[in-house]
Amino acid sequence: MGDLKEYRAEIDRIDRELVRLFEERMEVSEQIGAYKIENGVKVFDKTRERQKLDEVKGLAHGDFNQHGVEELFSQLMSMSRKKQYAMLEKRGAGGRLPFIGVDRLDTDHIRVVFQGVEGAYSQAAMTAFFGEDVNSFHVARFRDAMEAIAEGSADYAVLPIENSTAGIVADNFDLLVDFENYIVAEQIIPVEHVLMGIKDADLSSVRIVYSHPQALAQCEGLFQAHPDWKAEPFGNTALAARKVAQDGRKDEAAIGSAFAARRFGLQVLKTHISDEEANATRFMIVTNQRIFRKDARKISICFELPHSSGTLYNILSHFIFNNINMTHIESRPIPQRSWEYRFFIDFEGNLAEPSVKNALRGIREEAINMKILGNY
C-alpha cells in the first residue's frame, strides 16, 4: 500500500491528462460549431446528447461511477454548447432580439394608469417617475391596468412588483406572462408610514386607526405605546385615509403615506411609525412596446423547465460563463400544471451586449417558453 504523497502524485498525473483531453475535446467542439454555423444546424441537439450520455454512462462501473460520469459529461456538453453559442455571436450569426433600443422613453402627451385609488403608493410612484402633471387614471385591479396598456387606452402602467419586507407581488409576476407588455423602467418608493388625522385631531383624541392589515402589522410598536387605540383593518392605506377625511372625526386616524395625507387634506400626527425603517416598494413601469433604453442596466426574463435533475443548474450556468451577475430569482407554480414551476430572473446587462445575447440564446435553446420581460 502506497503513501499519501504517492497517491497525490498519481492524481496530479491523471489531472494533467484530463486537462489535455478536455482542451482536445473543446478544439473538436469548435470544429463542430463551425460546421453547424456554415450549414445552419442548431447548436442544441437534445436527442444526440441523451444518446451520448447513455453511451458514456454504460462505460462506467457501479451506480456511483455511472451517475458521476453522466454528470461529468452533462457539464462537458454544456460547456461545448456555450462555446458554440459564443462562436455564433462572434460571427454575427446570433440574430437580433425583437427589441428596439431608444435614447429616452417618450413621456410627452402620454396617459398613465395605476392600480388603486387616489393617494395610493402606486400613484406616488407614478408622480415620482412621470411628474405631478401627468395625465393619469386609476383602476381597481392589476389586470385592469395591464389590459389598459394592451388595448392602448394608456401608454404606461405603474404596478408594484416587490416589497423589501413583504416580498414579491405574485399576481403581477403572473400578469407579465399573460400579457405582451414589457418593463421599461422601475421606481423605488420608500414605505414611510405616518399617522394622519383631520386638522383638529391630535394624538390624545385618537381612538380608532384604519389601514391595510399589512401596514397595521408593520406599526405594532405604535399600538403597544397606545394600548387604548383600536386597529381597524381596511382595504388599503389610501382608502383608509379617504375614510378619515370623509368622516371628519377627531377620534379617527389612518396609517399611510404622507402623499396620501396631502391628497386628502389630512394633517400628519406622527412620523416614522414603522417598526422596520428600511422598507421600500419596487414599482415597474410597463408599456406594450418592445423597447429598451440604450443605457438600461437590468434585464428580467422568465422561463419554464422540464421537471428533471440539473435543468435549473444548467440554465443558470449561462450567466456564469458569460460573466453576468444574476441579482434575483423567484419561482411561481404554473396554473393547471401541478408541481411545475416558472422561474423569474433579474440580471445585470443590456440587450445590445454580446455576452447578454449569448446567454439569452443559450437559455432560449435549452429552456421552455423563455420570455424577455424587459430591459430597464
Paired sense of beta strands 341-348 and 326-333, if any? antiparallel
Phi/psi region, residue 103 (left: phi>0; alpha: psi -120 to 50; beta: rest), is alpha
List the beta strands (DSSP E) in the chain.
Answer: 100-102, 111-115, 135-139, 156-163, 167-168, 182-190, 194-197, 208-211, 230-233, 252-256, 267-270, 280-287, 291-293, 298-304, 326-333, 341-348, 368-375
Burial group, residue 238, by CB count within 10 angstroms (0-12, 13-18, 19+): buried
Residues recognised as catalytic = 281, 283
